Structure 1
């Protein structure tokens, strides 16, 4: 059976990594991908043999393109990720007569700092939700959020993200970084919800208190220029390095001593699992998926979100104390990619079986 997955793919973040891992690993379906931007995800998918269709930026033309493609390719199900893909995919699926599965990666209201955009996209999402047959939530926190919004429990399934343990493990090459240690690494998109402003304030507190190490920020996004300016204004350009998006992030994780994830909101947070699988202790905000996953794993210290002083103290403690290191085998057994893929394929089969009755 052929399943068409849709995602914006304007950048390469956690949702795009999820889609890449899912589509290259499915066993019971023939995957197809539709995106709105030619970029990293499209390139990676083609490299592993998954057909990719780049859609028009015009919503109405994109709907027609998806309908035509679904019919020509004998698509039996659409799987959407992100508001644009959700709305266009649902409207197209209704015309093409195929069911829709939607994966929810984050709390939608926190994705759009601009009030007008938030009002528009949240409104469009709510107007078209009835067209989704099943919502896959990457954490229980997201399931509870959707349930509170009125979606019946029978339309909600929790499937935690999985990681590729052939990539993320302690043994392997590491990037050589000629920076003062200890190295504090952060892997996240440079977006308001990721808490980089809080992290910068925490870094300033640590340096003021005598911390001699360095900070390495791995990621890209709309706040990159603004954050670089703030680093200079704080006089921390020799201590904080922005290295941008890195496709071999596992090599960067192995190079640092502690990983800090200061998100203000988090649907799941693949970076937490990736760091633990590489054997690195993590300081993370007690939000969403971080709280859900981090509570049960060694090597994680959770702190209140938005508090730079508590964050700084936790990082300092993690560096100075003899902490319990993560158990990569436990991470691999609980959050394997194979488990995520298998559970997702079970949802596909269940939805298609109901449609055939």
Structure 2
């Protein structure tokens, strides 16, 4: 079975999800093919995971080049001749569905809705497109029930599937079973400045430096937090279009660590991992942090409640776009090291029992078999609606 993954963007969580799918599908005897723009991390990672990779040039944002991008996607479909098209995120979903128009089984995976990401006329047009183009998707695959509900509430009348994100639990895990020792080991291996090697709690935010991930909200909350916890330190791990603007507006004492090929040491070094996103489908960073045994504080956007352990919502969720609420939540947690340790232990158990990427990839492959009318392998569990 040949599956064409048409993908834009080529970094961050989407790239990691596609790479995990490719790795599992290649191991299962499928022929995964990835069409994506050059640059970013995806092409190299997908090729290493077993995919055949073709260049598909597409900008990240919508614009006048959509017709050209859809034409290039159509040529790629004719070249690869896949049994099934899996289009990832808004731009690939736009160009891929225009190119295929129902000519072959098609899965569209939003990875967070485009109409949540933009407002005004652009947002209205994005919503009109999703309502129209749903006719060309045999399944709209959401990574959380909240993401599905957001689409349904917005009037996207799809044939839905819900398969939650997962992470590689062999990759994201503590190195030392003692959390104190594990944090010490991780910090010893990081290029932390002297000021960051003291006894104060370390907060880590991992993500692309962009509007979606909300680092600007965290920087606005940080001075208020320091009034409660003067010794707290903040590390922003990642790069992106907002990097320079964030550096100019950051309070003193914030570490901009840049992009990290391996985020595990940063996650393990943290007393608390925070992700103040404005929108998501189900973010991977909180799942990765929990798998490393670290507590998380996240904004209450799609997928956040579903990713947290039962009972953690009261302490570990904050309203999106609310720096004051974020500062207060940070303050409540950081002054209670024993509570943080308990939350981290519960988070680790929760991630390891509920978010194994193998379960996710098996379910996606099972969905392919269903759409193609083929029997699924008996070990595949489908999580769909």
Asked if these proteins are the same fold (TM beyond 0.5), I'd say yes
- Could you tell me which runs of 5 or more consecutive residues in structure 2 were left unpaired when the two chains were aligned: 59-64, 177-184, 375-385
Q: What is the CA–CA distance in structure 2 between the aligned matches of 1:15 and 1:46, rounded to whole Å?
A: 15
Which piece of structure 1 moves more, 169-178 or 156-165? Answer: 169-178
Q: Kindly indicate whether the alpha-carbon contact (under 8 Å) linking 1:80 and 1:101 is maintained by their aligned counterparts in 2.
A: yes
Residue 99 of structure 2 is aligned to residue 100 of structure 1: no
Q: What is the CA–CA distance in structure 2 between the aligned matches of 1:227 and 1:110, rounded to whole Å?
A: 22
Pairing of 1:229-308 with structure 2 (within 5 A): 229-231=248-250, 236-237=251-252, 239-294=253-308, 296=310, 301-308=316-323
Q: Kindly indicate whether the alpha-carbon contact (under 8 Å) linking 1:38 and 1:54 is maintained by their aligned counterparts in 2.
A: no
Matching residue of 1:343 = 363
Matching residue of 1:21 = 20
Displacement over 6 Å in runs of 4+: none
Q: What is the CA–CA distance in structure 1 between the aligned matches of 2:101 and 2:355, rounded to whole Å?
A: 34
Q: Kindly indicate whether the alpha-carbon contact (under 8 Å) linking 1:261 and 1:272 is maintained by their aligned counterparts in 2.
A: yes
How far 1:277 moved relative to its partner? 0.8
SS at match of 1:32: strand
SS at match of 1:80: strand
Q: What is the CA–CA distance in structure 2 between the aligned matches of 1:248 and 1:331, rounded to whole Å?
A: 19
How far 1:120 moved relative to its partner? 4.5
Q: What is the CA–CA distance in structure 1 between the aligned matches of 2:257 and 2:129, rounded to whole Å?
A: 35
SS at match of 1:353: coil
How far 1:243 moved relative to its partner? 1.6
Q: Kindly indicate whether the alpha-carbon contact (under 8 Å) linking 2:163 and 2:363 is maintained by their aligned counterparts in 1.
A: yes
Which of 313, 317, 326 is the equivalent residue of 2:328? Answer: 313
TM-score (norm 1): 0.89
How far 1:43 moved relative to its partner? 1.5
Instruction: Describe the shift of the 1:304–1:72 C-alpha distance in structure 2 as closer, same or farther (beyond 3 A).
Output: closer
Pairing of 1:47-86 with structure 2 (within 5 A): 47-57=48-58, 58-86=65-93
How far 1:127 moved relative to its partner? 3.3
Q: What is the CA–CA distance in structure 1 between the aligned matches of 2:174 and 2:311, rounded to whole Å?
A: 16
Which of 125, 140, 143 is the equivalent residue of 2:148? Answer: 143
Instruction: Describe the shift of the 1:312–1:102 C-alpha distance in structure 2 as closer, same or farther (beyond 3 A).
Output: same
Q: What is the CA–CA distance in structure 1 between the aligned matches of 2:109 and 2:94, rounded to whole Å?
A: 13
- Could you tell me which runs of 5 or more consecutive residues in structure 1 were left unpaired when the two chains were aligned: none
Q: What is the CA–CA distance in structure 2 between the aligned matches of 1:63 and 1:303, rounded to whole Å?
A: 39
* Length, aligned pairs only: 345
SS at match of 1:259: strand
TM-score (norm 2): 0.83
Pairing of 1:214-225 with structure 2 (within 5 A): 214-225=233-244
How far 1:98 moved relative to its partner? 1.2
Q: What is the CA–CA distance in structure 2 between the aligned matches of 1:56 and 1:308, rounded to whole Å?
A: 38
Q: What is the CA–CA distance in structure 1 between the aligned matches of 2:8 and 2:32, rounded to whole Å?
A: 17
Q: What is the CA–CA distance in structure 1 between the aligned matches of 2:40 and 2:228, rounded to whole Å?
A: 42
Matching residue of 1:169 = 173
Q: What is the CA–CA distance in structure 2 between the aligned matches of 1:122 and 1:272, rounded to whole Å?
A: 28
How far 1:122 moved relative to its partner? 3.9
Matching residue of 2:352 = 332
Which of 118, 122, 125 is the equivalent residue of 2:123? Answer: 118
How far 1:103 moved relative to its partner? 1.0
Q: Kindly indicate whether the alpha-carbon contact (under 8 Å) linking 1:298 and 1:326 is maintained by their aligned counterparts in 2.
A: no
Q: Kindly indicate whether the alpha-carbon contact (under 8 Å) linking 1:277 and 1:326 is maintained by their aligned counterparts in 2.
A: no
